[in-house]
């Protein structure tokens, strides 16, 4: 009888865990204010920037809980590729205009001859590309795992921020942060929803899951 009660208790705990995980994965859709949303048809996607010591940026990005760390040389290329792929889900709401690194640098150098004001830079970028909003990403950490998918010496660690600016006013419309160093599931079983698999992820796999997580609240019209 005691064994049966323990079994029922075990099933109850598993059921509660499932409900908790399921509820955590559901996030409400975010909508832009009507007056803003109706005017945004195209969004300019800038290549990711690297946040490192001594680096400067013209883009205001008020990240609060992100910790900087080592960034692999291929981080930008990987993040740009992943973001382009994940934004396809929102192509029915917006037309996305992607800039290569060279295009971005040439365009910004032209604008800097006219102004160095961050808000005006955003406005100029929108005007020159005929877009109404700008999506900017900054990488704070992108460290590859050391080891295999089954055993690691050091787990993957990724941190980045995505910010959406209104091209007309330069104001921030939306921002999300991601900062995660993979931990054993024994330390936090709720991370199974983020990790997706019972294995040690590569930095790219962790970044991909991070983008999926933050884009769940990406505003639609």
Instruction: Let me know if 15 is exposed, middle or buried by CB neighbors in 10 A (0-12, 13-18, 19+).
Output: exposed
**Is pLDDT above 50 for 180?**
yes
Read off the pLDDT of each residue in 41-56 and give the average, rounded to a whole number: 87
Show the tokens assigned to 159.
């941190």
Per-residue b/e over 164-178, b at no fewer than 16 CB within 10 Å? bbbbeebeebbbbbb
Structural fold of domain 32-217: Rossmann fold (3.40.50)
pLDDT digits (tens, 9 = 90+) for 187-216: 555 566 665 566 889 999 999 999 999 999
pLDDT band per the 50, 70, 90 thresholds, residue 83: very high
Strands (E), 68-111: 95-98
d(CA 186, CA 6): 21
pLDDT at 48 over 70: yes
pLDDT-derived band at 25, boundaries 50, 70, 90? very low
Going by DSSP bridges, is the β-strand pair 133-143/49-50 parallel, antiparallel, or unpaired?
Answer: parallel
What residue ranges do the domains of the chain occupy? 32-217
The rounded percent of the chain whose pLDDT value lies above 70 is 79
* pTM for this prediction: 0.82
Q: In the predicted model, is pLDDT for residue 19 greater than 70?
A: no
For range 129-139, the mean pLDDT: 98
Q: In the predicted model, what is the mean pLDDT of the chain?
A: 84
Q: What is the CA radius of gyration of the chain?
A: 21
pLDDT at position 57 is: 80
pLDDT higher than threshold 50 for residue 78:
yes
For residue 53 the two structure tokens come to 């010591």
Q: Are 97 and 129 in contact (CB under 8 A)?
A: yes
* pLDDT band of 6, cuts 50, 70, 90: very low
Identify the residue with better confidence: 141 or 192: 141
**How many angstroms separate the CA atoms of 8 and 193, rounded?**
25
Is it the case that residue 38 has pLDDT exceeding 50? yes
Residue 113 has pLDDT above 50, yes or no: yes
Model confidence at 110: pLDDT above 60: yes
pLDDT at 53: 66
């Amino acid at each position: 009888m005691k064994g049966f009660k323990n079994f029922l208790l075990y099933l109850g705990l598993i059921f509660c865990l499932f409900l908790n995980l399921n509820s955590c994965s559901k996030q409400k859709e975010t909508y832009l204010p009507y007056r803003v949303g109706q005017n945004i048809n195209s969004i300019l996607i800038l290549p990711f920037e690297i946040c490192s010591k001594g680096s400067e940026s013209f883009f205001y990005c008020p990240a609060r809980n992100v910790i900087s760390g080592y960034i692999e040389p291929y981080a930008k290329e990987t993040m740009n590729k992943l973001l382009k792929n994940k934004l396809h889900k929102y192509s029915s709401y917006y037309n996305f205009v992607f800039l290569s690194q060279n295009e971005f640098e040439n365009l910004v150098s032209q604008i800097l001859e006219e102004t160095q004001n961050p808000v005006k830079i955003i406005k100029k970028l929108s005007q020159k590309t005929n877009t109404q909003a700008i999506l900017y990403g900054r990488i704070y950490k992108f460290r590859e795992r050391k080891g295999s998918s089954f055993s690691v010496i050091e787990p993957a660690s990724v941190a980045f921020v995505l910010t959406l600016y209104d091209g007309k006013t330069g104001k921030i419309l939306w921002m999300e942060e991601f900062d995660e160093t993979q931990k054993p599931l024994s330390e936090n079983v709720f991370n199974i929803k983020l990790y997706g698999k019972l294995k040690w992820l590569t930095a790219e796999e962790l970044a991909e899951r991070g983008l999926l997580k933050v884009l769940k609240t990406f505003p639609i019209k």
